[in-house]
Structure 1
Amino acid sequence: MNYFKLRTLVIILILVMLSFLFTYIYINGNYFRLPTEIEIMKQSPGALPLKVFNQHSHRIVNNISSLGDKKQFQIGNQEQDSNTSEKYEENHLKDIPNEKDIPIINNAQNVHNQENLLKQQQVLKQQQQQQLNTFQQEKQEHIYKQQVETGEQQHLVGLNVPINKGNTATKTIIGETVANGPPKPVAPQPCNRLWVKGKSKWFDERFNGAISSVWTRDNIRQSPDVTNWWLKLQGSKNKDVVGVMESAFKMIPDVDVYKDRSTCRRCAVVGNSGNLRGSKYGSHIDAHDMVIRMNEAPVTNFEEDVGYRETHRLMYPESFFNIKPDVHFVLVSFKTLDVEWLVSAMTTGTIKRTWRPVKNLIKVNASLVQIYNPALMKQAHEVWNLKHGRYPSTGLLAIMFALHACDEVDVYGYGANKIGNWDHYWQNDGGRGNSAFRKTGVHNSDVEKEIYTKLNSEGIITLHMGNAHK
């Protein structure tokens, strides 16, 4: 074999080997190019094309530091439980990759890009649970809105407020029952603001919206007729009302926090009547923005009928009841000594008796303590009660407090029980007893009953009579 033929054979062999080598690299090596979008889709079913990821990756990074647009930072492969949620997710999550949607780049020349993608993947993993929870909540809210629009929600009889999510008890309102099980959310109704004139001529003639429900710096100096009337209620010895209030305002708020009417404030006033037994009002009461209770009425062991929430409790020194630190203590004072007791009970504990022994030290949140406005007390006595009795009961004062602090008012636990007696829901006498409320003559229970019954018939409050209605 001559030299020319040998060289030709070697060249051919080299070319064949190079051909096989390039063919192998092209098929299996994938070293010289990025995978095409089609190949990515084939290798990772459901994965997004790289250009789609690059177009939206900045949204992920932005949403890591700011959750302003939570819908764009969700995991988009959750199971759907309704057509509504499917449409919601399709519209809000279709362009956002999850952790398995990040394409893997094997090209060594793109290590920097791969590192960035892996960092984003790690962040997604860390945030997944939190964002999944947020997504589920938003999905439920979206479903709820759809139900409201299509009229599929179940309205509660006699209430204009939504029920808290998760309540499961059977619910009875004025003798009518709502089905067992978790209630569907109820769309908030337009605010029926009781203080807007024109709804009731009878109410408009008596209601004075300029009177604050609490004693503040603005009304620290009451008019002489109010001051003189208040000082005589229980024989105040200290006549320096302003000085006593100045001492109190060094410790408690001195402003009216109820002047803001930017939102609808729906309130429940919970009385102590035995007609609450078996009422199943608990979850309805707890659904309100404010839950006002009074004196020593217990909550524990009676939650199904009276609820467990409370935001305000009206008490005078002799009826003080331990409350939670997040509850407003509204002092109903009938004399300057009551205000002095408040200051003492929050500090030194020197006052141990008013007209009877009282707690000398109390634990309350000073920032939530308020004092009932004596001007409102006098108006309740003279304008509403027409001077019957010596002064209004705490029950009537609680309703008046709500009328001046709230936009809508539901009243529970007032009046007699189903056999006509005036007892308390925590008493175990079968409802046969009558409280001192009707015996002392300090308050006129019959006149007060006419007031809140009339308020109900005029559409100002909604009165719920519990077992007395059965």
Structure 2
Amino acid sequence: MGTWLQRRLLACVGVVTCLLCFYVLCLNTEWPLSWTSIPPRSLHSLTAKISSSLKDFPNRLIIPDLRPRPPQTKTGPELLNQTLDLSKSGSEKDKKSSKHPTDPPFIGDSYISENVPQKTNCSSGIRSRIKESEFGGRFLEHIPVLQWAKHVSPEQYERLRRYPGTHGWGNFNYDTLAGTLSVLNSSANWQMLDDWEAQRNKSECSRCAVVGNGGILRGSKKGKEIDSHHYVFRTNGAVVKGFEEDVGSRTTHYTFSTNTLMNSMRSYAGAGYRGPPVSPETRYVFLPDHDRDYLLMKAAATHTAVERGPERAKDPTKYFGKDVSKEKLKMYHPDFIRYLRNRFLRSNTLKTRYKDIYRPSTGAAMLLAALHTCDQVSAYGFMTPDYKKYSDHYFDNTYHPVGFFANHDLRMEMVLWQQLHKAGLLQLYVRQ
């Protein structure tokens, strides 16, 4: 009996000793007792080691994003009514109905949110109707459409540098970002409809015409109708001169990336495109996918030559006119573009080798931004199921079929426009 008790006591002492050793080892090596308490630096190192060890596997494995959420970033109370909050996207209903519980980290379906005061008192606007539509589960009311000075910080840089291209800050160094966004420090830079009081003309609801460049507009005679809206959005090679009867003449918001702007100036010069529209009411909305966008933006805001890159030493007034000011400049937030990709245009391209270059087309980003900004939206010149009847652009002198490329999913965009039209969230122009 004594021997049996001795054995039991020795076993108990052994177990306690092992537990104490394990605890001391955890303290000395800073191993967490739960995943939620992993220090960011330790997890960065751990994730890097795991990624390195898996790089030779033929199939990409999914590594869950286990990093803790950064602390809330305070913003200027004179500009925002609520602090920026790094929150998991959507409501509890969204989370339960998610079809992508094992998203790879590059998807990044998590965004900042902010409470920006509404510019209008429209009771029948898109925001009030979209929540009850089939798109209610996808829609995030408080996601920032535009980025500006209050959004750049070391914490936000660490968060967004994981995502490349238009979807984050992965391609940019911090100094370039901070240098550009610091000049976007006025209320006009974070409000898409910054001059609503001047444009409203006693209206309670903002009406926006979003004009694509599709051939369906040629011969449409929609020019006066387009110009009658409070705001008129255009993009890329928006040739207006000579086509006013079909496409109108006003431009309040011009969306582009530096790359699409330069390509448009080369490709559509023969059709009369010389550069962005220039008028007192025109605002320029950058879709940043390269540091050249931030460099051109800063040069335009400060009336200085572009510092470096393909546009080095170029005078920005050549593109935006001599009266351009920082109040006329806006830039889409990468969270917003990633949200559009993830929630509205989640293409199968994301499962292919082209996933890193895929993004919503510039026209799609512009139209969806209007849906998140305006009370009523009419879309003209966007692709419809009978697109083969029309040339690629309304300004083409001869018929050119629509071009399809790996970086956009134009057919998916076309289906989305049909769905939004059917849901009563936009009025899509179709030929009768």
Q: Name the TM-score, length of structure 2 as normaliser.
A: 0.56
2:333 to 369, 373, 398: 373
1:194 to 114, 117, 126: 126
1:255 aligned partner: 190
Q: What letter matches 1:409 in structure 2?
A: V
1:323 aligns with 2:277: yes
Segments of 5+ residues of structure 2 without an aligned counterpart are 1-121, 198-202, 262-274, 350-357
2:392 aligned partner: 423
2:146 aligned partner: 214
Q: Please state whether the residue corresponding to 2:220 is helix, strand or coil.
A: coil
Asked whether the 8 Å contact 2:306–2:314 carries over to 1, the reply is no
Q: How much identity, in percent, do the aligned residues show?
A: 26
1:285 aligns with 2:226: yes
Q: Please state whether the residue corresponding to 1:399 is helix, strand or coil.
A: helix
Query: What do the CA deviations read for 1:34-54 (whole angstroms, capped 9, x no partner)?
Result: xxxxxxxxxxxxxxxxxxxxx
Asked whether the 8 Å contact 1:212–1:404 carries over to 2, the reply is no
Q: Please state whether the residue corresponding to 1:201 is helix, strand or coil.
A: coil
Q: Please state whether the residue corresponding to 2:128 is helix, strand or coil.
A: coil
C-alpha spacing 1:379/1:415, structure 2 compared with 1 (3 Å): same
Asked whether the 8 Å contact 1:294–1:315 carries over to 2, the reply is yes
Q: Please state whether the residue corresponding to 1:349 is helix, strand or coil.
A: coil
2:162 aligned partner: 228
In structure 1, C-alpha distance between the alignment counterparts of 2:342 and 2:159, rounded to whole Å: 12
Q: What letter matches 1:449 in structure 2?
A: M
Q: What letter matches 1:423 in structure 2?
A: D
Q: What letter matches 1:377 in structure 2?
A: I
C-alpha spacing 1:285/1:252, structure 2 compared with 1 (3 Å): same
Q: Name the TM-score, length of structure 1 as normaliser.
A: 0.52
In structure 2, C-alpha distance between the alignment counterparts of 1:415 and 1:349, rounded to whole Å: 38
Q: What letter matches 1:283 in structure 2?
A: K
In structure 1, C-alpha distance between the alignment counterparts of 2:419 and 2:159, rounded to whole Å: 28
In structure 2, C-alpha distance between the alignment counterparts of 1:272 and 1:352, rounded to whole Å: 31
C-alpha spacing 1:422/1:357, structure 2 compared with 1 (3 Å): farther
Cα offset, 1:206, TM superposition: 1.3
C-alpha spacing 1:309/1:254, structure 2 compared with 1 (3 Å): closer
Cα offset, 1:197, TM superposition: 4.4
In structure 1, C-alpha distance between the alignment counterparts of 2:243 and 2:374, rounded to whole Å: 25
Pairs within 5 Å for 1:113-262: 192-197=124-129, 200-221=132-153, 222=156, 225-231=159-165, 236-240=171-175, 242-249=177-184, 253-256=188-191, 258=193
Higher helix share: 1
In structure 2, C-alpha distance between the alignment counterparts of 1:239 and 1:231, rounded to whole Å: 15
Asked whether the 8 Å contact 1:215–1:373 carries over to 2, the reply is yes
Asked whether the 8 Å contact 2:210–2:233 carries over to 1, the reply is yes
Q: What letter matches 2:256 in structure 1?
A: M
Pairs within 5 Å for 1:46-61: none
C-alpha spacing 1:246/1:329, structure 2 compared with 1 (3 Å): closer
2:361 aligned partner: 393
Asked whether the 8 Å contact 1:270–1:291 carries over to 2, the reply is yes
Pick the structure with greater CA Rg: 1
Cα offset, 1:336, TM superposition: 3.1
2:372 aligned partner: 404
In structure 1, C-alpha distance between the alignment counterparts of 2:237 and 2:186, rounded to whole Å: 24
In structure 2, C-alpha distance between the alignment counterparts of 1:318 and 1:358, rounded to whole Å: 16
Segments of 5+ residues of structure 1 without an aligned counterpart are 1-189
2:81 aligned partner: none
Cα offset, 1:316, TM superposition: 1.1
Asked whether the 8 Å contact 2:166–2:287 carries over to 1, the reply is no
Cα offset, 1:230, TM superposition: 4.1
| Paired positions, count | 273
Cα offset, 1:202, TM superposition: 1.5
2:205 aligned partner: 264
In structure 2, C-alpha distance between the alignment counterparts of 1:386 and 1:344, rounded to whole Å: 34
Asked whether the 8 Å contact 1:388–1:447 carries over to 2, the reply is no
Asked whether the 8 Å contact 2:392–2:402 carries over to 1, the reply is yes
Q: What letter matches 2:277 in structure 1?
A: I
Asked whether the 8 Å contact 1:345–1:359 carries over to 2, the reply is no
Q: What letter matches 1:371 in structure 2?
A: M
Q: What letter matches 2:366 in structure 1?
A: A
